[in-house]
Structure 1
Amino acid sequence: MDRAGEGQLAAFRAEVRHWLETHVPRQSAPPITADARAHRAFLQGWQRTLHDGGWAGIAWPAASGGRDLDPLQQIVWYEEYARAAAPEASGLSVSQSHAGPTLIQCGTPEQQAFHLPRILRGEAIWCQGFSEPGAGSDLAGIRCRGEVVGDEIVVNGSKIWTSFAQGSDYQELVLRTEPGSQRHKGLSWVICDMSSPGITVRPIRSMDGEYHNCEVFYDNVRIPLANVVGALGDGWRVSMATLAFERGRSFVGSQVRIGQTVERLIAHARDTRDAEGRPLIADAQVAARLGALRARSAGLKAMTLFAAGRSLNDEVPGAEGTYVALMLAEVKQELFQLWMDLLELRGLEVDDSAHAVNPVLQYLFSYAVTIGGGTSEVRRNIIAERLLGLPRHEATGALLA
């Protein structure tokens, strides 16, 4: 990049930083409860603020209502967003990061015209109906079925680990629409209205006390054929596009938050003393673990920027995001495990008002990060096969088929 380009990017960063400083809400998002009404209202209010400020859908094409920022500007946005401690708003991630982009890439003009403006304005929140009790990381093992009857699909079955289903309006639902089909054949990706008769949502309480995920049951739920994205039987291709978007450039924000938290933990270890009055960081093992975390955080930043750079000319992100997702999850687990080790029994006294990041709740939630969105084992299989070109192992290859 030449000096003119650097100057333009610096000016853009200043614009982003100023807007966030004046608009980021001071209060945290309410906890995700079983009915999620307060959390949903917070998400919708924040998304409307982003929309009205011109910051909704920053990576979406302008023709689809987005900001159409180039990749470097997107990275700056995510960096500044994380530094401003803006709401993570995970309940909006499905809508913004993969339902919307999937519709842009694979949806019909009618589907795009109806859903994209509602997503950008925060009027519609989406959830993801992929995992099932017998098909979690093995997406091709889906059994939830849809029978084509006239101009509708009649759906029966169940999904599980559906994030924020209790607060969502629509669902990206993958089901088996071809009788007798197996594995990745015969699947369809459809838009499911969560208010449809026959849908039952059962929130699941997590270890941190919140209700991040749900079970969803379908009893003769009728979905119009017009809600199929792509085509009947084309669900595997559309699903792979969805998962690619899920692992896109938005990881930049997560990486920045990880780096911030590592530095916060190092400061904690310098300022906190043990029973003998020494700083915790004076312990050689503690210092070594902190140093390793800082090094891994730096490596994570490099990999995140590398993956973002590789996607500069790609409409759909590549498999490089899988490596970033794996590193993010494992570094996060290591980070909060160490923080809990340093807190010892004092961890029982930590509350939200005392920490910008509650280490206890983050520690409890970190158990999920190497499972959700694909287990670490499956991610390693994807890296081995799609990035390194290694042969597929017979025992685990089915997870990738």
Structure 2
Amino acid sequence: MDITYTPEEQAFRAEVRRFLAGKLPKDVSAKVLEGKRLTKDDHERWHRALNEQGWLAVHWPRQHGGTGWGPVQRHIFDEECAAAGAPQIIPFGLSMVAPVIIKFGTEEQKRYYLPRILDGSDWWCQGYSEPGAGSDLASLKTRAVRDGDHYVVNGQKTWTTLGQHANMIFCLVRTDPAAKQQEGISFLLIDMASPGVTVRPIITLDGEHEVNEVFFDDVRVPVANLVGEENKGWTCAKYLLTYERTGIAGVGMAKAALRHLKHVAAKQVGNGRPLVEDPSFRLKLAEVEIDLMALEMTNLRVVAAVQGGGVPGAESSILKVRGTEIRQAITDLLRRAVGPYALPFLPETLEAGSNLEPVGPDFAAPLAPQYFNRRKLSIYGGSNEIQKNIVAKMILGL
């Protein structure tokens, strides 16, 4: 089943393609399409190009610099960006803390932080998870004690994605330890250059330095950096997570990955014929494609339902569960498609300019690390088991 687009929507798609052809850096798109690692500069160049075009904040209100696009335009834009090899925009500032500031922040916070997110002055990271508070986020222990016009913060955050690049972190901290778990939590904006902040790398299974531990030792944070009310940060946290979970669905990225899977399956030969002609493999390919089509339609319905300025509800949990399962299934099929060529894995082959010869076909080198990396999709943003509980309670009333 194909989506039917109006002439205006088709014209918009053509406009997006022209923009991508002229403004997406060719070296950056080549890295994305080849599965190479991206640098901070790669992300920042694409961020600047989108901001100069006025196409960065696709879901912000117009008065704060948003595009004002409808759900179909946003869907088309995501789809074309993924197909062209555009990097995923780092979501922590643009798609996570910004909606919270717009919804709950003071006018001073909006005037100061939102322009800095747009022009790239601030690179944000997320301070939610802790060693003892992952999916059970409300059990977090990081403390913030009021001391005059500052909070003094002590504790630890973990799995802090790209924290090594960030100059700002938004954190959930406990400001009332006597309150019930989901009460007594506040939402703070913390400068990473503050004395007492320490970032330590965590190297993941694919050899990548993507996540970090962040430690806070008597870090002084101005009370003016509190978003919303003290002890009411759980409201901000839930609001942010609905945006994060909707984004994790990654329909555009999944469609691009599926096209790549079909390309690989057409190239690989087994028993004298292309893998795509193997009945067993074709069945698996058809199943994941049907699932992706259903996810795309569900995603459009959810986005359309909140077009008037609302926030996704528990439906975002459905998108998160199915979206991550589909993306994991595609990487699994890619790994299986190249067979033993997916086994050898040299992290250096993912670096731009590496002179190491890939083992097997050129497209085989990044498949193992992509497979490893996608294992986390069903865990972060709230594990899929937790999301199913939310769906059962909030949608099914169980």
What's the TM-score once normalised by structure 2's chain length?
0.89
Moved more, 319-328 or 280-289: 280-289
C-alpha distance after superposition, 1:242-264 (max 9, x if no partner): 1122234x467x21221232232
After TM superposition, give the deviation of residue 77 of structure 1 in Å: 1.7
Aligned to 2:35: none
Equivalent residue runs for 1:318-397 within 5 Å: 318-348=313-343, 354-355=362-363, 358-390=366-398
Supply the distance in 2 between the matched residues of 1:341 and 1:47 (Cα, whole angstroms). Answer: 34
User: Match for 2:116: what amino acid?
Assistant: R
Task: Assess if the C-alpha contact under 8 Å between 2:268 and 2:337 holds in 1.
Answer: no
C-alpha distance after superposition, 1:126-172 (max 9, x if no partner): 01101111110111111111100111100001011111111111111
Moved more, 321-330 or 10-19: 10-19
Aligned to 1:262: 258
Distance 1:76 1:251, change over 3 A: farther
Count of aligned residue pairs for this structure pair? 375
After TM superposition, give the deviation of residue 97 of structure 1 in Å: 0.7
Aligned to 2:125: 127
User: Match for 2:102: what amino acid?
Assistant: I
C-alpha distance after superposition, 1:363-385 (max 9, x if no partner): 01011111111111111111111
After TM superposition, give the deviation of residue 267 of structure 1 in Å: 3.2
Aligned to 2:228: 230
Confirm whether residue 73 of structure 1 aligns to residue 73 of structure 2: yes
Supply the distance in 2 between the matched residues of 1:6 and 1:281 (Cα, whole angstroms). Answer: 33
User: Match for 2:86: what amino acid?
Assistant: A
Aligned to 1:41: 41
After TM superposition, give the deviation of residue 84 of structure 1 in Å: 1.8
Distance 1:288 1:73, change over 3 A: closer
Task: Assess if the C-alpha contact under 8 Å between 2:331 and 2:371 holds in 1.
Answer: yes
After TM superposition, give the deviation of residue 29 of structure 1 in Å: 7.9
Aligned to 2:154: 156
Unpaired runs of 5+ residues, structure 2, are: 32-37, 351-357
Distance 1:29 1:184, change over 3 A: farther
Aligned to 2:54: 54
RMSD value, Cα: 2.2
Distance 1:263 1:10, change over 3 A: closer
C-alpha distance after superposition, 1:3-58 (max 9, x if no partner): xx933323222222211111111123899xxxxxx822222222111111221212
Supply the distance in 2 between the matched residues of 1:309 and 1:138 (Cα, whole angstroms). Answer: 30
After TM superposition, give the deviation of residue 279 of structure 1 in Å: 2.5
User: Match for 2:25: what amino acid?
Assistant: P
Moved more, 375-384 or 286-295: 286-295
Aligned to 1:271: 267
Moved more, 54-63 or 121-130: 54-63
Supply the distance in 2 between the matched residues of 1:251 and 1:146 (Cα, whole angstroms). Answer: 30
Task: Assess if the C-alpha contact under 8 Å between 2:79 and 2:255 holds in 1.
Answer: no
**Secondary structure of 2:382's match?**
coil
Supply the distance in 1 between the matched residues of 2:143 and 2:308 (Cα, whole angstroms). Answer: 37
What's the TM-score once normalised by structure 1's chain length?
0.88
Distance 1:355 1:278, change over 3 A: closer
Moved more, 54-63 or 67-76: 67-76
Equivalent residue runs for 1:180-259 within 5 Å: 180-248=178-246, 250=247, 254-259=250-255
Distance 1:189 1:79, change over 3 A: same
Aligned to 1:24: 24
Task: Assess if the C-alpha contact under 8 Å between 1:333 and 1:363 holds in 2.
Answer: yes
Moved more, 60-69 or 5-14: 5-14
Aligned to 2:99: 101
Aligned to 2:306: 311
